[in-house]
Amino acid sequence: MHDTTFLSGQLKEMGTKICDFFLVRNMIEKDVRDLLTDHIMKCHRRYRLAIKHKGEDVVLADPERYGYYRKDHSSVAYSMYGNLIMEDLLDTFTPIVEEITQLNLNPNYSYFSLYEHGNTLKKHIDREDCEVTLSICLGQSPEKPWPIYISEEKFNLESGDGVIYQGREHEHWREPYEGEYVAQVFFHWTDKDGPNGNTIFDGRPYLGHPTENVIDRRRP
Ligand SMILES: [Fe+2]
């Protein structure tokens, strides 16, 4: 069962309703999150093997298939947009997050990052149509939370824990990471009743549909 902690303060108007921060403990059970972390590790390994066997030009030209190292100002972590498993999880989580936030939500897109020692997340807000975000820690080594700061709140996520927040309303960041790795997945929604209510599937015809300019689409 989910154990949702409702945090007071930092309320922001969204359309006709209110969305708060929500810390959700044990959102993904251990067997499932271990499988997902392993999948992210294997994506990362495939990325490196593909560079060796196919060449860097081929791999860098197809970031949706192989993932890529971010080069934007907020992070340099290995990441992937629209991974099919994560896209399906975005669909699965939609009614759950609607129930928690009491908002009507359009699934927008999914994204994962594999943070490594020394990585950081610089202070930023998300692009305009990332109205509601669920960020889940799938796995980390050592099992010691790497704090996420969202406005004035500090969140310590154990593996399996998630935090729901408004990434375009609240600046968020992390200090340099001192552990070995953190596998993190992000799910983004728009508010059906808000100004971006017509934005769904990030402009794609369905979740998992290939898109163009993946790297440009992940603007901080
Ligand atoms: Fe962000």
Residue 130 phi, psi (nearest 5): -95, 75
DSSP assignment of 2-16: -EEEEPPS--EEETT
Please give the pLDDT value at position 7: 41
Q: Please report the pLDDT score of residue 216 as a whole number.
A: 59
- Whether the upstream peptide bond of residue 142 has omega within 30° of 0, thus cis, is yes
> What rounded mean pLDDT belongs to the chain?
88
Q: Model's pTM, two decimal places?
A: 0.90
Burial of 52 (0-12, 13-18, 19+ CB in 10 A): exposed
Please report which confidence band the pLDDT of residue 9 belongs to, taking 50, 70 and 90 as the band edges: very low
Residue 2 CA to ligand 1 center (angstroms) comes to 24
Please name the amino acid found at residue 94: T
**Alpha helices by DSSP H, the chain:** 30-54, 56-60, 63-66, 84-101, 214-217
Predicted pLDDT of residue 153: 86
Residue 124 Cα, ligand 1 centroid: separation in angstroms?
6
- Between the CA of 55 and the centroid of ligand 1 the distance, in Å, is 31
Is 60 exceeded by the pLDDT of residue 3? no
Give the model's confidence band at 210: pLDDT under 50 very low, under 70 low, under 90 confident, else very high: confident
Domains and CATH numbers, the chain: 3-38+70-193 (2.60.120.620)
Query: How much of the chain exceeds pLDDT 90, in percent?
Result: 72
CA of 218 to the centre of ligand 1 (A): 9
* Both tokens assigned to 94: 């939609």
Q: What's the CA-to-centroid distance between 25 and ligand 1, angstroms?
A: 20
Pick from 137, 84, 74: nearest CA to 110: 84
DSSP 141: E
- How far does the centroid of ligand 1 lie from the alpha carbon of residue 54, in Å? 32
User: Cis bond leading into 220, ω under 30°?
Assistant: no
Distance (angstroms) between ligand 1 centre and the Cα of 121 equals 8
Closest CA to 146 of 111, 186, 112, 179: 179
Centroid of ligand 1 to alpha carbon of 112 (angstroms): 12
Residue 220 has pLDDT above 90, yes or no: no
Whole-number pLDDT of residue 186: 97
pLDDT tens digit sequence for 135-175: 999 999 999 999 999 987 899 999 999 999 999 888 999 99
52 alpha carbon – ligand 1 mean position (Å): 31
Would you say 188 and 110 are in contact if contact means Cβ atoms under 8 Å apart?
yes
How much is the average pLDDT of 178-184?
98
Q: Alpha-carbon distance 106 to 25, whole Å?
A: 23
